[in-house]
Chains A and B, each alone.
Chain A
Amino acid sequence: MNSNSFAGAPHAHDQDSVPRLMGAVLLAILPATLYGLFLFGWPAFNLLTITVLVGLVCEAGCLWLAGRPIRPGVMDGSALLTGVLLALSLPPWAPWWIGAIGAGFAVVVGKQVFGGTGQNIFNPAMLARVMLLVSFPVEMTTWLTPHPWWSGTSPGWLEGWLITLGHFSATDGVTGATILGYARTELGMNHSLAQILAGHYQASAAALGWTGGSLGETAEWLVLLGGLWLLRRRVITWHIPVGMLGAVLVLASGFHLLDPQRFADPVLHLLSGGLMLGAFFIATDPVTSPISSLGQIVFGVGCGVLVYIIRTWGGYPEGVAFAVVLMNAATPVIDHYIRPRAYGRTWSGKPRPVPARAKQPPLARKSGVDARD
């Protein structure tokens, strides 16, 4: 018998491991990623490659500096996932340095300075996106109408690299605002929502993801499918997505009913921007979200409310990254106050009183017993 005979119980384990969980999330986001690459061509592919490579190199470098084992840290898939999620949240033709700075910031500042995997307070990808948006507003809001790979307008491999290296401005391609950004600007000019959307928004194109937006955000239905698969596989639970989407749905419906000319309808909100990606793939990041189910609902609702507030009254057309980062900051507080009720205890942690029923006779057949005894 080997030395393992001294290991403690339990002597069984289910199949899941951290790399498997990360792998499942990557698999779930793969369809939306591929669709994004198809819509936006080689420059998007280059950007994704850069964020992933820079993310992995930074992770390995930090682990090396900290003197910790590099292989398991890099292989657990978390840095890879951070790189992918960051790329999906960037403008698809963003120049290489946006991707590189973002991925480096996400891994080094967003994660490793807190102590590495499991220790960070903020979602690394979203923290990086917020930083980029604040620091480089022009590059971060230069949106592009889709150039599908087969359409002929899609840049070739070499042209793609020129765009990525910044020799070729994305503005030379066909640019346009996202629907949320456009609506915000036009509403500011006192146009009614019906007028604004009439020329600019087709629900069918939006539903297909055939609109301007971040690399992985436009095909909301593919993101949703991936998210539902994660739910089914029990990688995530329903609490955060339902809380987040539910809050946006309720607020958007309410305000839209009050004044349809000023407030966009809930469907537009659900199918625009990074809401779907945020609800299923970002806010559900276990490290930065609360532990308890109730806490997760609170967290999700908080994210949804913030998204709606930022979109409707804030300074930015889109607010998923801000909302998630703000709620990340609230996570320790939520975890402190919302805990599961321990067995045999009240919510305040005191032992529950002895149940009153204990002293009562049983439910049945007392007489039969007396006869027997």
Chain B
Amino acid sequence: MRLHDFRGGVHPPSQKHLSAGRPIESLPLPARLYIPLQQHAGAPALPVVTVGQQVGKGELLARAQGATSAPLHAPSSGRIAAIGEFTAPHASGLPLPTIILDTDGEERWAERAPPPDPFSLSPEEVARRVGAAGIVGMGGANFPASVKLSKARQAGVHTLVINGAECEPYVTCDDQLMRERAGEIADGIAIMLHALQASRAVIAIENNKPEAIQAMSDACRHDARIEVLGLPSRYPAGSAKQLIQLLTGLETPAGGRGTDTGLLVHNVGTAYAAHRALRHDRPLISRIVTVSGGAVPEPRNLEVPIGALAADLLAYCGGVSDERARLLMGGPMMGQPLPGPQVPVIKGTNGILALTPDEVGEAGEPSPCIRCGRCVEACPMGLLPLELSKRARGEDWEGIQALGLNDCMSCGSCAYVCPSHIPLPQYFAYARGMLAAQRREEQKARRTRELMEQRQARFERQERAKAEAAAARRAAKKPRTVVLEADED
């Protein structure tokens, strides 16, 4: 397969050496787990347990609600301590509905049925089981995997792309997963190919992970449908659109889906989770998380039950050495700043990073834009970040949409290179927020107008009915009137 190129992108220094090659260790089971009901796109899951209830490991805690939702399962056995609000992994630090589980340390599995051979199942059934296991995209997008599989099969996707690019600096959890569990990933890929009815898979891995490339190549040697491909390491090669472009030269049409190109992208962690679900009947209750950054004394890759707090992970890695560290969930390019360490790991968490001010590269106040065009050069989507931010500052919401705000995927490449240190993605986020508020307002106004019009119409109908009735009455009276008139005459 010949590689193509994508435009833009940046080369942030890797920093993967801090945690790369560290064998995956299991985090000691925390006494409490905090499982937010919203760990996926779509509506929050609906709890099916009550406070005080004993649950076994893997037991259903909350069921999916709506088409793009995902169920939640108990990461360990124990007792439901509370169902309430708890800080979610979001910069705002706002609380979200959360199931709080006191673990009993017994790791007692709920009863599982011995799973049938996945290849004897129908593709629909495989996708359904992937969905029932609560599997969402493990690369951070958190979109339910079963929905992607079914939609892609219906769209006639021919190639499954397994994303092992992992282009964010620091993050090595996928790298380590591929090195240690390549056989399981390969099996998961075969299962997903069956669910998709697609004919081949490509595992795309950045060239800075030679061990992972080797391990995956060895594991897939027996399966002629699976190809392992090394990519040049350049951020954001791991973004689905850029990955598809690298592999095929095709661009996903604006406003369209990746599947329009005939390819479907899934993360390696998702393939591994599919293997666990279909071969061992294990729901998605844990994941591999990279704990790293200059303020972490002992960076590691940890297998972590969903719901463990960032504080638990950091404590296991020697605590945070620098009080002025910036705490992140995810990588430095797109990661979420955390309001504090008391925030749980969710299904899409690939890293917990504590970065020192040096690593963050803080440069004080932003200076004026000098129109150097580096952001334009760096934008993988071919946008004009400086013009977009100018529109956002001028509150020109129509202009900013015309310039393609909706095409921006917030990869942060523009701000990474900006010599004036302008926080461009924050302007875009602000504009998105304002536009969303505007849309809500418009919807409300439209609804009000509709109600007004309906009311008006009702009044008019009533008036008309009244008038007609009056006319009818008059008409009915008419002969009498004539008579009266006649009488008068």
Contacts and interface: CB of A to CB of B under 8 A. Distances in A.
Contacts of B337: 4-9, 11
B18 interface: no
Contacts of B412: 9-10
A17 B363 contact: yes
A14 B421 CA distance: 10
B272 to A, nearest CB: 21
Interface residues of B, number: 89
Contact of B384 (A291, A345, A360): A291
Interface in B379-421: 379-384, 386, 402, 404, 407, 410, 412-413, 415-421
Contact of B326 (A1, A345, A361): A1
Contact of B419 (A20, A291, A359, A365): A20
Contacts of A344: 241, 251-256, 381, 407
A12 B410 contact: no
Interface in B1-50: 1, 7, 10, 12
Contacts of A119: 368
Interface stretch (A29-37, A312-320, A335-343): A335-343
A289 B468 CA distance: 73
Interface string B304-327: 000000000000000000011111
B426 interface: yes
B156 A12 contact: no
Contacts of B10: 14
30 contacts: A4-B326, A6-B339, A8-B423, A8-B426, A8-B429, A9-B332, A9-B334, A10-B332, A10-B416, A10-B425, A11-B333, A11-B337, A11-B355, A11-B359, A21-B419, A72-B367, A117-B368, A118-B369, A291-B371, A291-B384, A343-B382, A351-B253, A351-B254, A351-B255, A352-B251, A357-B261, A363-B1, A365-B199, A369-B193, A369-B225
Contacts of A357: 248, 250, 261-262
Interface in A314-373: 339-345, 349, 351-355, 357-366, 368-369, 372-373
A368 B224 contact: yes
B486 interface: no
A181 interface: no
A369 to B, nearest CB: 4
Which one of A76, A344, A355 has the highest number of Cβ atoms from chain B below 10 Å of its Cβ? A344
A153 B344 CA distance: 79
A167 interface: no
Name the residue among B256, B333, B334, B373 with the largest chain A CB count within 10 angstroms.
B373
B381 A358 contact: no
A88 B369 CA distance: 26
B339 A5 contact: yes
Contacts of A341: 382
A171 interface: no
A1 B325 contact: yes
Given A351-B256, A352-B251, A286 B158 contact: no
Contacts of A7: 326, 337, 423
Nearest to A373: B194
Q: Is the interface of A mostly helix, strand, loop or mixed?
A: loop
A339 B416 contact: no
A359 B156 contact: yes
Contact of B360 (A1, A12, A286): A12
A179 to B, nearest CB: 35
B338 interface: yes
A339 B419 contact: no
B419 A8 contact: no
A16 interface: yes
A6 B339 CA distance: 7
Contacts of B360: 4, 11-13
Contacts of A116: 368
A9 B235 CA distance: 14
Contacts of B357: 4
A355 B261 contact: yes
A12 B341 contact: no
B407 A1 contact: no
A245 B60 CA distance: 71
Residue in A6, A10, A12 whose Cβ sees the most chain B Cβ within 10 Å: A10
A354 B157 CA distance: 13
B158 A362 contact: yes
Contact of B370 (A6, A117, A358, A359): A117
Q: Which of A354, A365, A366, A368 has the most CB of B within 10 A?
A: A354
B426 A354 contact: no
Nearest to B413: A10
B98 interface: no
Contacts of A151: none
Interface in A141-187: none
A11 B426 CA distance: 12
A18 interface: yes
Nearest to B340: A1
B260 interface: yes
Contacts of B367: 17-18, 72, 76, 117
A16 B353 CA distance: 24
B335 interface: yes
Contacts of A70: none
B485 interface: no
Contacts of B245: 343
B412 to A, nearest CB: 3
A358 B373 contact: no
Contacts of A351: 253-256
B150 interface: no
Given A2-B326, A343-B381, 19 more contacts: A5-B326, A8-B423, A9-B333, A9-B410, A10-B333, A11-B328, A11-B359, A12-B12, A12-B360, A13-B360, A13-B362, A16-B374, A17-B367, A291-B371, A343-B251, A344-B253, A344-B255, A354-B260, A362-B158
